[in-house]
Amino acid sequence: MFHLFKRTRSDLEREEAFELMPDNVPKHVAIIMDGNGRWAKGRGLPRIAGHHAGMKAVKRVTIAADEIGVEVLTLYAFSTENWKRPRDEVDFLMKLPQEFLSIELDELVEKNVRVRMTGWKEGLPAHTLEAVEKAIERTKHNTGLILNFALNYGSRHEIVQTVRDIASEVRQGELKQEDISEELISNRLLTGALPDPDLIIRTSGEIRISNFLLWQMAYSELWFTDIYWPEFTERHLVQAVCEYQRRARRYGGL
Ligand code: FPP
Assigned domain for 113 exists = yes
pLDDT band at 249 (very low <50, low <70, confident <90, very high): confident
Ligand 1 centroid, distance to 33 Cα (angstroms): 6
Instruction: Please check whether residue 182 lies inside any domain of the structure.
Output: no
Q: Does some domain include residue 59?
A: yes
Query: What span, in angstroms and rounded, lies between the C-alpha atoms of 31 and 74?
Result: 6
Percentage of residues in the chain having pLDDT higher than 70: 93
> Mean pLDDT, to the nearest integer, of 67-87?
97
In ligand 1, the atom with minimum distance to the C-alpha of 229 is: 10
Q: Write down the pLDDT at residue 13.
A: 47
CB within 8 Å of 122: residues ≥ 6 apart: none
Mean pLDDT of the region 207-220 = 98
- The lowest-confidence range among 14-23, 91-100, 118-127 is 14-23
pLDDT at 2 over 80: no
pLDDT at site 7: 46
Total domain count, the chain? 1
pLDDT tens by residue, 141-156: 999 999 999 999 999 9
14 is in an annotated binding site: no
CA of 54 to the centre of ligand 1 (A): 7
CA distances from 12 to 4, 17, 57, 222 (A): 11, 7, 19, 22
* 107 found inside a domain: yes
- Indicate whether residue 77 lines ligand 1 (CB < 6 A): yes
pLDDT of the residue at 196: 98
What per-residue confidence (pLDDT) applies to 9? 47
Range 168-176 average pLDDT: 98
For 124, phi and psi rounded to 5 degrees? -75, 140
Mean pLDDT of the chain: 94
Inside any domain, residue 251:
no
Contact of 70 with 27, CB cutoff 8 Å: yes
Q: Is the pLDDT of residue 66 over 50?
A: yes
Sheet harboring 221-224: ordered strands across?
A: 114-118, 146-153, 72-79, 28-32, 199-202, 221-224
Which active-site residues does the annotation give?
34, 82
CATH number, domain at 143? 3.40.1180.10
- pLDDT at 16 > cutoff 60: no
Residue numbers of the domain that contains 42: 25-154+196-246
Rounded Cα distance, 190 and 120, in Å: 9
- Res 11 pLDDT > 80: no
Inside any domain, residue 11: no
Residue partners of 17: CB distance under 8 A and separation at least 6: none
- pLDDT higher than threshold 70 for residue 99: yes
> Is 131 inside any structural domain?
yes
Binned at pLDDT 50, 70 and 90, residue 250 comes out as confident
Tell me, yes or no, whether 53 lies in a domain.
yes
Residue minimizing CA distance to atom 1 of ligand 1: 34
Is the beta carbon of 41 within 6 A of some atom in ligand 1?
Answer: no
